[in-house]
Amino acid sequence: MPLIVVLDDVRSLHNVGSVFRTCDAFRVEAIYLCGITATPPSNEIHKTALGAEDSVEWKYFKTAEEAVDELHRNGYFVYSVEQAEGSMKLNQLEVGWLKEDGGSDASQEKSMKERSTSYINHLPSEASLQPSPSNHPTSSPSSSPIGETLQPSSFNLPTSSPSSSPIGETLQPSSFNLPTSSPSSSPIGETLQPSSFNLPTSSPSSSPIGETLQPSSFNHPTSKYAVIFGNEVKGVHQSVIDMSDGCLEIPQFGTKHSMNVSVTAGIVIWEFAKQFI
């Protein structure tokens, strides 16, 4: 699984060993051990890792900041797991695994990315939804909203022969007040398409007007992720949080609002793994 686990000053060797064992279970790509975090070989790590320290790749960094720098250079999207302002609840996470072979997951996540960016950057304003002055009368732009079927009086039919429009009544020449440039472009009974209006041309269909984007829609699809777990008491360093691309937080309902770091790692890694399987 293309996920790297970063341990930022995790003091307990037993916690380190437990994280190794969890990473082995889900075949995590590697563990980055930073700061005071102990490294194998170690009898204390082995007590809880049970040999996983030999099956999971690991690398040591003097500081977690150095680890984050390397991750960013290698194209990883980095999450700090910490209770911080603006953090995303873990249950809202939608991992955008982009497969190297360009499979179905890649198409799905490309669509998700286009949906979020297109909606944010190209949401049409109320003014842009009005008919173009060059194609429709300026006196009553509200007469042809998107999706409404135009009535016979809305079309520029020939004024010389009102009998050519048998729709139950004889249309008078004064009923026609539209330009005569392309009457055939709007046949009777046809619903106007979005292209008839002054809407963004990028991909309006990917962001339906009125659709509410959920927080999970703003995840960043990529092929590689990293998650950082901090010290048992102080958590992830603030400087490391500032360098991260986002924060994840496990929803809690008790009184302590904290969990053992190895337990936290297990919950978060499983969330990534179940969306990867």
Question: Domains of the chain (ranges plus CATH)?
Answer: 3-96+222-276 (3.40.1280.10)
What is the average per-residue pLDDT within 224-237? 96
Q: What does 212-236 look like in DSSP terms, one character per residue?
A: PPPGGGG---BS-EEEEE-BTTTBS
Q: How confident is the model at residue 256 (pLDDT cuts 50, 70, 90)?
A: confident
Residue 236, classified by CB atoms within 10 Å of its CB into exposed (0-12), middle (13-18) or buried (19+), is buried
Q: Is the pLDDT of residue 13 over 50?
A: yes
Q: Is the pLDDT of residue 240 over 70?
A: yes
Whole-number percent of the chain with pLDDT over 70: 55
- Measured CA to CA, the distance from residue 3 to residue 28 in angstroms comes to 6
Q: Is the pLDDT of residue 130 over 80?
A: no
- Measured CA to CA, the distance from residue 254 to residue 30 in angstroms comes to 32
Provide the residue count of the chain: 277
- The answer to whether the bond into 41 is cis (omega within 30° of 0) is yes
- Measured CA to CA, the distance from residue 149 to residue 191 in angstroms comes to 5
| pLDDT, greater one: 150 or 265 | 265
Output the average pLDDT for the chain.
74
- Measured CA to CA, the distance from residue 204 to residue 195 in angstroms comes to 10
| pLDDT, greater one: 76 or 146 | 76
Q: How confident is the model at residue 98 (pLDDT cuts 50, 70, 90)?
A: low
What is the average per-residue pLDDT within 172-178? 52
- Measured CA to CA, the distance from residue 46 to residue 62 in angstroms comes to 22
Q: How confident is the model at residue 215 (pLDDT cuts 50, 70, 90)?
A: very low
pLDDT at res. 51: 96
Q: What is the pTM of this model?
A: 0.58
